[in-house]
Amino acid sequence: MGRTSPPTKTTKLRASSTRAPASRVELDRTDRSILKLLQRDASISNVALSGKVNLSAAACLRRVERLKQSGLIRSIVALLDAHALDAGTVVIIGVVLDRSTPDSFAAFEKAAQTVSGCMECHVVTGEFDYFLLVRTKDAESFNELHAKQLLYLPGVRQIRSFMVLKQVLSTTQFPI
């Protein structure tokens, strides 16, 4: 059951890093090409990248730095194989808090960041207050996580878990 009145949830609207959010940046065709290529393979050398977008290496590096400074490129990461790391099971967890106050949301958000295997935590509208995406080894590992951590999250009234049977799509690439 959802909330009866919409609470003020300013604690939910936090920047994910200390960098200021990206302002509206005008992207030309070359910028878009750079972003597409870096999304596919961020380990590409600047020389190889510059060749693919028909720029000099120096001009390409300046553009990439500008895209970083603008906040469009937040970070460069390695994507790991979850199955190889014994984290192949995905569980989506819907959470309803017992109170809709800034303090209860802040306490839950802080605690959610410590849940083992929690990859994402989203504030949502509707029946649930949050959705967590958790990766774990298997159903038995999730059951242990549920018993030892999830049941003790602060302010939780209800938890509903959805074990993913088949991952149809998961991508880190934005359509540009």
> What are 73-91's pLDDT values in tens digits?
999 999 999 999 999 999 9
Q: What mean pLDDT do residues 125-136 have?
A: 98
Confidence grade of residue 24 (pLDDT, cut at 50, 70, 90): confident
Q: How many distinct helices (H) and strands (E) make up the chain?
A: 5, 4
Residue type, 173: Q
Residue with tokens 């380990």, as numbered in its chain: 43
Q: Which two tokens stand for residue 139?
A: 């159903």
Residues 6+ apart with CB under 8 A from 143: none
Contact 121, 109 (CB under 8 A): yes
d(CA 18, CA 29): 29
> What are 139-172's pLDDT values in tens digits?
999 999 999 999 999 999 999 999 999 999 999 9
d(CA 4, CA 12): 19
Helix ranges (H only) for 7-156 are 29-40, 46-52, 57-69, 102-112, 139-148
pTM recorded for the entire structure: 0.79
Residues 6+ apart with CB under 8 A from 100: 3, 7, 9, 129
Confidence grade of residue 25 (pLDDT, cut at 50, 70, 90): confident
Which residue did the predictor score with more confidence, 1 or 119?
119
> What are 33-76's pLDDT values in tens digits?
999 999 999 999 999 999 999 999 999 999 999 999 999 999 99
* Distance, C-alpha 37 to centroid of its chain: 20
| Rounded CA Rg of the chain | 20
Q: What is the overall mean pLDDT for the chain? A: 89
